[in-house]
Structure 1
């Protein structure tokens, strides 16, 4: 068994406009890194966290990474082992890009790899969900599942947990813009309606089915037509500056679709080329700068690998 390992886990776009809590996909950047070392003393320690501006706890009982790893070790009866964790945040917290998920998945994948556990990586999903529950009060899988499994993922059911990897067109690119505004996940969930009209539900079901069909059929235009949300986006978009103006600009520049990533404030656009994605991201960043709002931008195709060992 190796003494140490360094793992990268990717950011994710959850919901994918119409698929609230049931759809998500992984991107190539940004992401988080975990360095894990075997120690002589049983138990888990967190020796260092960087890139969080002091916002995350070093107490292993309160950090999503260590808590998830502890659940995993109990499940395989290896609480006798000692592990020390360094967490390096390479992506912004509260971005709507699955920041806590990337950290948790990196930690779980590192532990699984260090211990030589060769079972399917999907076995780690319930432990990753435990981390999400601690991070935002709701144990959803639309970030952790694609971060862990890579690709485009559908969570068909939570009880029992049933997760399906979906195919996707190879020419699909994603432009992501993260505005420098604060939209906490817990608060973003609280403003969502708890009752909806049947006609709205039917519209949403049709869009989700259309999106999944477009992924299977490699039909990017069908994907674009289907990515409409009449339930969650109208409420959450109020928390994101110039959301509808940015959507108008992206669509005019040839975007296939445009929407909120997770609970926001990040937004994303699907495009048919990497160059289009770069141009859209830069244009939206420039627009936000004109309004006095800083932003980070990322361009990626869909990341089919998920977590990977980098050292």
Structure 2
């Protein structure tokens, strides 16, 4: 058993337009880092958090990283051990890119590494879901599952939990832009209708099935025409400045598809190559600047590995 480890866990794009709470994929950047050490005094503490502007709690019962680690230690029967955690936020909080997920997954991967990988990454998903419940009130898996497993992930069922890794075109890239406006996940979730029309549900089912089929067959045209959301995007797009203008720009520049990442405000476009992705992010940032909104951008291929050890 080693006594210290440093881990990176990736950001994720949840929902992937039409797959609310059931689809997501991981990207290579941004992400979060956790440094974890075994100590002599029993209990889990967070000794340091950087990059959060003081927004995240140091209380180990209220921070998603430490709370998930506590659950893991209870599960393996090692509450006698001491764990010191440093969390280094390398991505914006509340961006719609799975910020809490990246932190939680980094922590769980780190503690599992210290204990010689007693659980598989797939078995860590329920522990990470508890962290999501602490962060936003609902233990969804469409961020934590791809962050842990890498690639594209389908959450076929929550009860019982059934998480499936999907194939995808190997040259696929994501162009991500984060407008610096505040869209809290809890608020964005509360805006969603609790009841939907059957005809809308039928459209959504067809689009999810079409997207999954397109991923399996490397059919970019099918992927693009399937990524249409008639249930959630019409409401959440109201919170994102110039959303439809940005979508028009991205699609005219050769994007396969365009949509909201998670609950927003980040938006993303899928592309067939990195050059197109870079051009799209530049154009979207220019559009946001024209309405006095600052933004960050990230271009990444789909992350295939999930969390990794950095030392």
Q: TM-score, normalised by structure 2?
A: 0.99
Which residue matches 1:78?
A: 78
1:97 aligns with 2:93: no
Aligned-partner Cα distance in 2 for 1:82–1:116? 16
Aligned-partner Cα distance in 2 for 1:61–1:209? 39
Which residue matches 1:5?
A: 5
* Deviation (angstroms), 1:119: 3.4
Q: What is the RMSD computed on CA atoms of the aligned residues?
A: 0.6
* Deviation (angstroms), 1:134: 0.3
Which residue matches 1:106?
A: 106
Which residue matches 2:188?
A: 188
Residues 26-48 of structure 1: per-residue CA shift (max 9 Å, x gap): 00000000000010011101000
Aligned-partner Cα distance in 2 for 1:131–1:120? 18
Aligned-partner Cα distance in 2 for 1:250–1:57? 38
Residues 53-96 of structure 1: per-residue CA shift (max 9 Å, x gap): 00000010110000001101111111111110000000000000
Which residue matches 1:209?
A: 209
Q: TM-score, normalised by structure 1?
A: 0.99
Aligned-partner Cα distance in 2 for 1:53–1:92? 10
Which residue matches 2:243?
A: 243
* Deviation (angstroms), 1:220: 1.1
Which residue matches 1:259?
A: 259
Task: Point out 4+ residue stretches in structure 1 off by more than 6 angstroms.
Answer: none
Aligned-partner Cα distance in 1 for 2:112–2:267? 33
- After TM superposition, the structure 1 = structure 2 runs for residues 156-171 of structure 1, keeping only pairs within 5 Å, are 156-171=156-171
Match of 1:9, SS? strand
Match of 1:145, SS? helix
Aligned-partner Cα distance in 2 for 1:265–1:20? 15
Aligned-partner Cα distance in 1 for 2:255–2:73? 44
The answer to which of 71-80 and 93-102 deviates more is: 71-80
Which residue matches 1:291?
A: 291
* Deviation (angstroms), 1:117: 2.1
Structure 2: tracts of 5 or more residues without a match: none
Residues 200-237 of structure 1: per-residue CA shift (max 9 Å, x gap): 00000000000000000111111001000010000000
Aligned-partner Cα distance in 2 for 1:277–1:222? 19
Which residue matches 1:269?
A: 269
Aligned-partner Cα distance in 2 for 1:284–1:74? 46
Residues 158-212 of structure 1: per-residue CA shift (max 9 Å, x gap): 0000000000001211000000000000000001111111110000000000000
Match of 1:214, SS? helix
1:142 aligns with 2:142: yes
Which residue matches 1:54?
A: 54
Residues 93-132 of structure 1: per-residue CA shift (max 9 Å, x gap): 0000000000000000000001112432111111100000
1:309 aligns with 2:309: yes
Residues 265-295 of structure 1: per-residue CA shift (max 9 Å, x gap): 0000001110000000011011101110000
Instruction: Give the length in aligned residue pairs.
Output: 311
Aligned-partner Cα distance in 2 for 1:35–1:85? 6
Which residue matches 2:126?
A: 126
